[in-house]
């Protein structure tokens, strides 16, 4: 007997997770379906009427048939009620229909479809992205499920390093759990040492040193990155974006805004925002503005404006921004 239900509706604004659920369900359908296989409705072929027709279509293939329907966020309520609600009331035996809605703005899964899938004995799952402030606590829960303890500071640092994509964060926690073993206590130091890719850590280390005026540390980080094969077209924009972020905060602080107001208005990891605010307070607007100008010139130089090597113009830029001392 198949483990698949008659119908599924996977919806929400976590598009990455929805794609994973779609791939998993399709693989399960191909494994259990045998000759019946999987039919996919996507693009212009995906409409409530076409989905209903796919359910009504007879097949003489042996096995469990799966129909995958994409783009459900574009379906209208009236068309769902007219075509799909009656069809879902009588899903053929050995058939599963799976709807996928990648929600954004006003584009949502129709309410009529939600109710029809439930009434058919199906499964409705929402895959929603979490707010940045909720991610550390969620990460701690996932770590506990994996048999390890993750410090609150470590969870915040991980969000700051990796970003707010839950699946990527989960992969990093899984790697930490494997590395440290069952019942391990994972600290901030553990995360900073092992969670992010070494090249990515060094990129941020380089930018930290630049913003902090530590020329020696910035030079070492730059040379290590180049020795590992890091390209200037990737490195320079990362450096410039980070410096511009700190400059924007410094300008707001100089204009009289409080740190609390600045923090409240910036999306992303609160822990990382605190670091940017601290960096802005440790320097001044003029220094950061000069750094942005130097990095803009560096980008032009590495695109052919200079006859010098990329390493030479990069080291000169670092010296211009942070000096040669520590």
What confidence score (pLDDT) does residue 254 get? 93
This prediction's pTM: 0.50
Quote the radius of gyration of the chain (alpha carbons, Å). 26
Strand partners, 7: 97
| 1 belongs to a structural domain | no
For residue 294, count other CB atoms closer than 10 A to its CB.
21
Residues 6+ apart with CB under 8 A from 257: none
Same domain (yes/no): 110, 148: no
pLDDT in tens, 37-61: 789 999 999 999 999 999 988 666 6
Q: Of 112, 105, 55, 127, whose CA–CA distance to 82 is shortest?
A: 112
Low-confidence ranges of the chain (pLDDT < 70): 1-2, 33-36, 58-62, 193-202, 268-271, 324-326
Task: Give Cβ neighbours of residue 222 (< 8 Å, ≥ 6 apart).
Answer: 206, 314, 315, 318
Are residues 190 and 202 located together in one domain of the fold?
no
Domain boundary residue, one of 173, 194, 215: 194
For 274-286, write each residue's pLDDT tens digit. 888 988 998 889 9
Total count of domains within the chain: 3
Most distant CA atoms of the chain, gap in Å: 77
Q: What is the CATH number of the domain that holds 185?
A: 1.10.8.60
User: What pLDDT does 231 receive?
Assistant: 82
| 64 and 169 share one domain | no
Domain end, chosen from 126, 149, 172, is at 126
User: Please, are residues 162 and 168 in contact by the beta-carbon 8 Å criterion?
Assistant: yes
Spatial CA neighbour of 22 closest among 6, 44, 40, 36: 40
Residues 138 and 95 in one domain: no
Q: Are strands 149-150 and 95-102 parallel, antiparallel or unpaired?
A: unpaired
- Which residue range(s) make up the domain with 226? 198-322
As a whole-number percent, the residues of the chain with pLDDT over 90 amount to 42
Do 250 and 263 lie in one domain? The reply is: yes
| pLDDT reported for residue 200 | 58
Query: Domain for residue 189, yes or no?
Result: yes
Q: Report how far residue 261's alpha carbon sits from residue 245's, in angstroms, rounded to the nearest whole number.
A: 16
Encoded tokens for 256? 């009289």
What H or E segment, with its residue span, contains residue 97?
A: strand 95-102
């Amino acid at each position: 007997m198949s483990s698949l239900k008659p119908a599924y509706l996977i919806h929400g604004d976590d598009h990455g997770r929805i794609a994973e659920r779609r791939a998993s369900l399709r693989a399960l359908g191909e494994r259990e379906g045998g000759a019946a296989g999987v039919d996919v409705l996507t693009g212009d072929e995906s409409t409530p009427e076409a989905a209903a027709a796919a359910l009504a279509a007879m097949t003489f293939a042996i096995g469990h048939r799966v129909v995958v329907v994409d783009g459900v966020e574009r379906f209208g309520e009236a068309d769902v009620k007219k075509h799909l609600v009656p069809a879902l009331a009588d899903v053929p035996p050995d058939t599963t229909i799976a709807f996928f809605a990648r929600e954004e703005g006003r584009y949502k899964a129709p309410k009529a479809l939600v109710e029809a899938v439930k009434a058919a004995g199906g499964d409705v799952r929402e895959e929603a992205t979490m707010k940045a402030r909720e991610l550390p606590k969620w990460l701690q829960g996932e770590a506990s499920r994996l048999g390890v303890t993750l410090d609150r500071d470590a969870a915040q640092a991980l969000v700051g390093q990796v970003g707010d994509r839950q699946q990527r964060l989960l992969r990093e926690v899984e790697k930490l759990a494997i590395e440290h073993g069952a019942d391990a206590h994972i600290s901030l130091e553990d995360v900073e040492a092992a969670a992010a890719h070494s090249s990515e850590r060094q990129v941020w280390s380089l930018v930290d040193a630049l913003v902090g005026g530590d020329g020696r540390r910035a030079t070492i980080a730059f040379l290590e990155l180049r020795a590992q094969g890091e390209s200037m077209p990737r490195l320079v924009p990362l450096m410039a974006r980070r410096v511009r972020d700190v400059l924007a905060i410094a300008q707001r602080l100089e204009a009289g805004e409080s740190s609390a107001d600045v923090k409240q208005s910036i999306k992303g990891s609160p822990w990382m925002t605190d670091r940017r605010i601290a960096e802005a307070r440790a320097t001044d607007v003029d220094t950061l503005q000069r750094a942005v100008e130097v990095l803009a010139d560096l980008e032009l130089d590495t695109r052919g404006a200079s006859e010098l090597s990329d390493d030479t113009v990069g080291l000169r830029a670092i010296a211009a921004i942070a000096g040669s001392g520590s």
